Homo-oligomer: A and B are copies of this chain.
Amino acid sequence: MKIIAEKINGTRKRVAQAIQERDAEFIQNLAKEQAEAGATWLDANAGTAPQREPEDLIWLVENIQAVTDTPIALDSANPRALEAAIKVVKNKPMINSISLEPGRMDVFPIVAEHKCPAVALAMDEKGIPKTKDERINTIGRILEKTRSMGIQDDSLYFDPLAMTIGTGQENALLFFDTVRQIRAKFPEVHITCGLSNISFGLPARKYINRVFLALCMESGMDCAICNPNSKDIQTTILAAELLLNKDRYCLKYTRAFRAGVFDE
């Protein structure tokens, strides 16, 4: 299971403040704690100020890679910010994200040129497709485009976009079905999602999120955008990999046990 660590996100108030005040220590602590928890990529989102974004993203990248070698996921829809950040990034970054939204079209060539892994949102000109078939259709259209540009299927992390149960009781089932169909139809691609979206607006969210994570993994999702420091996330991934026959000789599970990951 791969993890895109979500904490360094300028749409979060405290992170926005740290970016504005150039509080390097705050950002570096977030980078270190997420890297040490086993993040595959550290998301870096400089927030929503388009004028400042290139400069802010560069500042984030430089501060993150001052404390860890874990690759960065450059989280922006702004080609200028992406191009600027990609020049200073040391390890090959992930691009977060491409989609068929009009504003994101210019991100495709950046992914193609730098041969970066990329998150691909199942969104088109009209936003988030409602049905499973429409989402699969959108993903197919994205793949037509990426293939024509020489982007490999297995460098793409499709996000079918989990919507909260709070606005539709069938939303998780729709998500699992979509994941299964992506897995069947496009076997090379990866599948990811922002885990906590599923419980937006509901109480006791961590209990929903951890069960959702396990069920997503069973459906075929192999990457999550989440908080890697959460014990719930860590223990769920370990147990789900064990149960889904992805932990040879139970080695990861028993090692994590000896390392004190579990509370008992």
| A residues whose Cβ falls under 8 Å from a Cβ of B | 165-166, 169-170, 172-173, 176, 198, 202-204, 206-208, 210-212, 214-215, 218, 235-236, 238-240, 242-245, 247-250, 253-254, 257, 262, 264
Chain B nearest CB from A35 CB (Å) reads 24
Alpha-carbon gap, A217 to B121, bound state (A) = 29
Alpha-carbon gap, A89 to B211, bound state (A) = 38
- Option from B210, B245, B248 in Cβ contact (under 8 Å) with A173: B245
Chain B nearest CB from A168 CB (Å) reads 9
Residues of B within 8 A of A244 (CB): 172-173
Alpha-carbon gap, A64 to B198, bound state (A) = 41
Select from chain B the residue with minimum beta-carbon distance to A172: B243
Residues of B within 8 A of A250 (CB): 165-166, 169, 202
Residues of B within 8 A of A262 (CB): 203-204, 207
What are 15 of the A-B contact pairs (CB < 8 Å)?
A165-B243, A169-B245, A169-B248, A169-B249, A172-B242, A172-B244, A173-B244, A202-B250, A202-B253, A203-B253, A203-B254, A204-B235, A204-B257, A207-B238, A212-B243
